[in-house]
Structure 1
Amino acid sequence: MIYQNRLEPGLPEWDDMFFEKQLLCHIGEECLEKVEAALKGLRPPPKQKAYNLRTGKTEQFRPEGGLYEVGEPRPPLIKCTEWIEMQAIPALISAGILKTK
């Protein structure tokens, strides 16, 4: 995964794939550079899956490289939404961009 800022025109609600959103807060334009700096400083999860030529399947990949062997314990995969909850939001709170109640 990589962090990438996507500024797209229009509202998410306009997308056919839109399901729902939860507003955390409003951020003024003066804070956008702070947001960008706080999020770019976070380490994204490493590569988590790769195609295995031997099995013909996409399988979980070791953080240090290479595929796991059959029966070898594997850490849980990290979803992008989990990265947001566990890393991005706490980083924005620490930077003073998001305020907790």
Structure 2
Amino acid sequence: MAYNVYRVEYRLGFQDPLMPAGERFHNVLFVETDANGDGRILHVIGAIADVNGMRFEEKVGKRPEDSNTYHRKHYLGQIPADQYEALIQLMHSVPAPPRQRIFDSRAMGWVQCKPDGSLYQPGETVPPYMKCTEWVLDRAIPALQQSGFLYPDGIPQEQSVTKTKQTQGDTSEWTWDEARQKYYYYNYATQEYVWSD
């Protein structure tokens, strides 16, 4: 069994006036776990002005298209259903956006700060803000892609023709994947697919 994984964009109630111009959306990873399109939302919540910054959250989610704030979804691939808990552990390990903004009483407004709350000094490089969109695009998706359990073309399905391939004196059952034009088998010991060269 496999779960489809998407990046989903939801419209925001209001735009952050301190962010660069242009409409932004709340970005999440959505794992479709139910046949009706419902699933689980994996995202960061909180604010970049919070002392501890933002934090990862996993929660139940309805089919994205049923939300009145739904904007768009992007297919990322599939994960084996039995790897879902490993996915959650992986997302917990991806650093959430830290504190990046503080109210400066001298400037009488919000200013960008370091994660410890100290202000940037003249001449210091001030990084761009990181919020939910940047966390998903720049951290969570790359971590998922490097994890080995996201299959962008879908999890290989057993084809009608299974061929036997000779490997190092042992005979192993290999299956031909038409889309990738390669043989593969599932290694139960390591819980991963092994692909031919």
Give yes or no for TM over 0.5. Answer: yes
Q: Paired residues, what number?
A: 100
Q: Are positions 1:2 and 2:21 aligned together?
A: no
Is the 1:34–1:97 Cα contact (8 Å) retained in structure 2? Answer: no
Give the superposed CA RMSD.
2.3
Structure 1 portions without partners, runs of 5+ = none
Q: Are positions 1:16 and 2:36 aligned together?
A: no
Q: Superposition pairs for residues 23-42 of structure 1, below 5 Å? A: 23-42=75-94
Residue 78 of structure 1 is matched in structure 2 by 130
Q: Are positions 1:48 and 2:103 aligned together?
A: no
Query: What displacement does 1:79 show?
Result: 2.9
Structure 2 portions without partners, runs of 5+ = 1-53, 154-197
How high is the TM-score relative to the length of structure 2? 0.44
Is the 2:103–2:111 Cα contact (8 Å) retained in structure 1? Answer: yes
Question: Helix, strand or coil: the match of 1:46?
Answer: coil
Of Structure 1 and Structure 2, which has the larger fraction of its residues in strand?
2
Query: What displacement does 1:71 show?
Result: 7.2
Distance 1:93 1:26 in 2: 11
Of Structure 1 and Structure 2, which has the larger fraction of its residues in helix?
1
Distance 1:71 1:16 in 2: 44
Distance 1:51 1:36 in 2: 34
Q: Are positions 1:91 and 2:143 aligned together?
A: yes
Is the 2:78–2:152 Cα contact (8 Å) retained in structure 1? Answer: no
Query: What displacement does 1:34 show?
Result: 1.0
Residue 4 of structure 2 is matched in structure 1 by none
Higher relative contact order (CA 8 A, sep 6+): 1
Q: What's the CA shift string for 1:1-35, capped at 9, x where partnerless?
A: 21111223x21212221111111123343221011
Q: What's the CA shift string for 1:67-98, capped at 9, x where partnerless?
A: 33577541111232222222212211222121
